[in-house]
Amino acid sequence: MCEMKNEVRNEIEKSGDGEVQEKVSRHFIEQIIDKDLAEGVYDTVHTRFPPEPNGYLHIGHAKSILLNYGLAKQYGGKFNMRFDDTNPTKEKVEFVESIKADIEWLGADWEDRLFFASDYFGQMYEGAVKLIKKGKAYVSDLTAEEIREYRGTLTEPGKDDPYAGRSVEENLKLFEEMKEGKYGDGEKVLRARIDMASPNINMRDPVIYRVAHMTHHNTGDQWCIYPMYDFAHPIEDAIEGITHSICTLEFEDHRPLYDWVVRELEYPNPPKQIEFAKLYLTNVVTGKRYIKKLVEEGIVDGWDDPRLVSIAALRRRGFTPESIKLFVDLCGISKSQSSVDYAMLEYCIREDLKAKKPRMMAVLDPIKLVIDNYPEGQTEMLEIPNNLENPELGSRQVPFGRELYIEREDFMEVPPKKYFRMFPGNEVRLMNAYFVTCTDFVKDAEGNITEVHCTYDPASRGGNSPDGRKVKGTIHWVPVSEAIKAEVRLYENIIDEEKGVYNEDGSLNLNPNSLTVLKECYLEPAFAGAKAYDSFQFVRQGFFCVDARDSKAEAMVFNRIVSLKSSYNLPK
C-alpha cells in the first residue's frame, strides 16, 4: 500500500519544557532541495512537467504534475509546462490540447512559461555540432539492429562502432548532410562517444540524433533529423534554468547520460535529476497502446471514456481536482515502487463530495406508486434539506402528488425476512413526505409488476407520525407529473478484476459488464438546468455527474462517479 501523506505522518515530540510540538516529516526530494538551498547549489527552485504529446495523460501523470508544481509553490519558485515533442511519428495537436486542458484543470499554473522541446531544435543541433568538434560524437552507418548487436549485454561489454574512427571534419560534413535531407530514414545516426565497455548500457555510445522525414506538429517540415529524448531532455532543462529535474524511477539508469550531456555542453548551474516511484493503480489500464486499441475498436468511446483513468476520463466521470490532490497526497513520495488499490481513489472522491453536494432524489428503475386516498389533481410543496451534513447548502422545494415513481426494488410481492420496504400491508415512510401503507399492486400480461397502490396518513407530513408509531423502512420517490426523464450510466472497472489485467497472450481481460445504460430514469424537478460536470448525490444510489459530451438540456445523461459504500479502509 502507498505511503501516507506528510501531514498524516506528522511526528509528535515533546520539548524539554514538556510542550507538545509537531514535527512534519519531509519526503526525500524536499530534503534534497533543502540541502541544495542551504549549501548554495541553487538560490531558487525551478521545476517543470515535460510530457510527450503522444496520448492523453493518466492518473499517474497527475502525481508528477502536482509534485512538480507543488514544490515550485512551496519554495516560492517557478513551474514550467513543456512538451517533449521530439518524436513526430506519434505526436498530435489533439494530444497537446488535451494535456494543456488537464493541467489547467488540476490547477497547475505555468503562467507565461509554456514551452516546446521543438523550440530548441536549433540549439540542440548546435549542441550536437559542439560534441562532434570535441570528438565526443560521430556519425554511424550501422542499422538499428546492428547497433543493438554491437551494444553488448548486461554481462558482456559492447564493441566499438566501425565508424567511430571518422574524423571530426567527416562527421561534421555527414551530420550537415543528414540535416539537409541527403539520407533516408535509418540510413545514418549520430552517436555520442562515451564508453562501449560501460557497465551502464545507456552509456555505450547512445544514439543522439536520427533521420526521420516526418512532418512535425510544431515545426512542420523544417527538420528531417530529430534528437533522441535522452539527448534533448537535459538540454531543455538547462536552457530553461530548471534546478531540479524530477522524473520517475525508470530514468534512474539514464541519469549518468543526463549528467554527461549537460557537462560536455558546459552549461552553467546544471540541473539535478531526481527520481521517484511511479503511481501504480491496481486493475486499471494506463498503457497508451492498449487505450489506443480500445478506442480504435470502439470498446470505449474515446480517450475520455469514464471507465478509463486518463485525467480527461476522470474529469468526465465527475472526479474533482481536489479529490485527485487528496489521493496524491495520501500516496506520498518515495523511492519504493508500490501499488494502490483503486478503492482508495474512490474513497477520496467520496470524501471530497459528501459535504459539498446536494442529496437529491432520482429513481433509476421505476415503477409507479399511486396514493389512492390523496386528492386527485392536488400538488403540495415539501421543503427538503439539501445535505444534512452541511446545513449551509440550504433546502429546496419538491412537489408531491398522488402519483410517484419509486425504485422497483423497493416493492416486493412476497418479501424475505428483514425486508422493511414496501409490500402488501406494510407501512413505510416516503422520504421527507408521509407514511404510506401498501394496499394493492398491478401486473402486466407477463407477470411484471407495473403499479403499486397505497394509502397515506395525512397527519404524518414531513415523515413523522403524531402518535409516535415507528416504521423501519424509508424509500425515496419522484413526482410523476414533474419528473425529468434522464439516461444514467453505471460504470464498473473495465478490467475483470477476478482475472487480472492481462491474459497470457498480452491482451486485456475486459469486463463485459463495465457499462450499464439505464434509459428510463426519473429525477426530481430540481435537477432542471444542471450543466456539464455538475455533480450530485442521488439518495441511496451514489454520486453522479452530468456527462460533458452527451448530455443535453432536453435529454440529460448522468455518469455514476462512485457508489455510496466503500470496502476501502484508510491506512493507519
Final residue belonging to a domain, choices 166, 197, 227: 227
Instruction: Kindly state whether residue 376 falls inside one of the protein's structural domains.
Output: yes
Higher per-residue confidence, 17 vs 98: 98
**How many whole angstroms separate alpha carbon 497 and alpha carbon 128?**
49
Do 11 and 17 touch, CB atoms closer than 8 A? no
Within its chain, how far is the Cα of 435 from the centroid? 45
Do 431 and 475 touch, CB atoms closer than 8 A? yes
Instruction: Kindly state whether residue 135 falls inside one of the protein's structural domains.
Output: yes
Q: What is the DSSP string of 269-280?
A: S--EEEEEPPPE
Tell me: the pLDDT tens digits for 72-84? 999 999 999 999 9
CATH number of the structural domain spanning residue 207:
3.90.800.10
Task: Work out the pLDDT band at 504, boundaries 50, 70, 90.
Answer: confident
Final residue belonging to a domain, choices 196, 227, 258: 227
What pLDDT is attached to residue 19?
46
Q: Residue 313: pLDDT above 60? A: yes
What pLDDT is attached to residue 90?
87
**How many whole angstroms separate alpha carbon 282 and alpha carbon 340?**
6
* % of the chain exceeding 90 in pLDDT: 84
Tell me: the pLDDT tens digits for 419-438? 999 999 999 999 999 999 99
What pLDDT is attached to residue 13?
40
Instruction: Kindly state whether residue 281 falls inside one of the protein's structural domains.
Output: yes
Q: How far is CA 313 from CA 212, 291, 515, 548, in A?
A: 33, 12, 14, 10
How many H-runs (helices) and E-runs (strands) does the chain carry? 12, 29
Q: In terms of domains, do 240 and 100 share one?
A: yes
Mean pLDDT of the chain: 92
What pLDDT is attached to residue 167?
98
* % of the chain exceeding 70 in pLDDT: 95
Tell me: the pLDDT tens digits for 23-43? 457 899 999 999 999 999 999
Q: In terms of domains, do 46 and 186 share one?
A: no
Instruction: Kindly state whether residue 505 falls inside one of the protein's structural domains.
Output: no
Tell me: the pLDDT tens digits for 45-58? 999 999 999 999 99
Q: Considering its fold, how many domains does the chain have in total?
A: 3
Instruction: Kindly state whether residue 559 falls inside one of the protein's structural domains.
Output: no
- What's the whole-number mean pLDDT along residues 248-266? 97
CATH number of the structural domain spanning residue 447:
2.40.240.10
Instruction: Kindly state whether residue 183 falls inside one of the protein's structural domains.
Output: yes
Q: What number of other Cβ atoms are within 10 A of residue 537's Cβ?
A: 22
What pLDDT is attached to residue 2?
47
What pLDDT is attached to residue 99?
97
386: domain range?
A: 359-483
**How many whole angstroms separate alpha carbon 363 and alpha carbon 351?**
24
Final residue belonging to a domain, choices 329, 353, 377: 353
Q: In terms of domains, do 370 and 429 share one?
A: yes
Q: Which of 191-195, 287-291, 514-518 has the lowest mean pLDDT?
A: 287-291
Q: In terms of domains, do 95 and 143 share one?
A: no
What pLDDT is attached to residue 467?
84
Q: In terms of domains, do 103 and 162 share one?
A: no
What pLDDT is attached to residue 16?
46
Task: Work out the pLDDT band at 21, boundaries 50, 70, 90.
Answer: very low
Task: Work out the pLDDT band at 567, boundaries 50, 70, 90.
Answer: low
Q: In terms of domains, do 294 and 377 share one?
A: no
Q: In terms of domains, do 65 and 192 share one?
A: no
Q: In terms of domains, do 363 and 478 share one?
A: yes
**How many whole angstroms separate alpha carbon 151 and alpha carbon 167?**
22
Determine phi and psi for 344, rounding to 5 degrees.
Answer: -70, -40
Task: Work out the pLDDT band at 403, boundaries 50, 70, 90.
Answer: very high
Q: Which of 192-201, 294-303, 539-548 has the lowest mean pLDDT?
A: 294-303
Cβ neighbours for 291, distance < 8 A, ≥ 6 positions apart: 55, 56, 285, 300, 303, 308, 310
Q: Residue 572: pLDDT above 70? A: no
What pLDDT is attached to residue 17?
46
Q: Residue 22: pLDDT above 90? A: no
β-strand 280-281 against 272-276: which pairing, if any?
Answer: unpaired
Q: Residue 14: pLDDT above 70? A: no
Task: Work out the pLDDT band at 364, boundaries 50, 70, 90.
Answer: very high
CA dihedral (181, 131, 262, 146) positive or negative: positive
- What's the whole-number mean pLDDT along residues 541-562? 96
**How many whole angstroms separate alpha carbon 120 and alpha carbon 55?**
22
- What's the whole-number mean pLDDT along residues 87-104? 94
What pLDDT is attached to residue 189?
98
Q: In terms of domains, do 43 and 189 share one?
A: no
Instruction: Kindly state whether residue 437 falls inside one of the protein's structural domains.
Output: yes
Instruction: Kindly state whether residue 532 falls inside one of the protein's structural domains.
Output: no
Tell me: the pLDDT tens digits for 221-244? 999 999 999 999 999 999 999 999
What pLDDT is attached to residue 570?
54
Q: Provide the phi-psi class of 332: left if phi over 0, else alpha when psi is between -120 and 50, else beta.
A: left
pTM of the model: 0.89
Is residue 67 helix, strand or coil? helix
User: What is the enclosing helix (H) or strand (E) of 557?
Assistant: strand 556-562
Q: In terms of domains, do 369 and 474 share one?
A: yes
Q: In terms of domains, do 207 and 274 share one?
A: no
Q: Residue 558: pLDDT above 60? A: yes
Task: Work out the pLDDT band at 566, boundaries 50, 70, 90.
Answer: low
Q: In terms of domains, do 235 and 221 share one?
A: no
β-strand 535-538 against 542-546: which pairing, if any?
Answer: antiparallel
- The type of residue at 346 is E
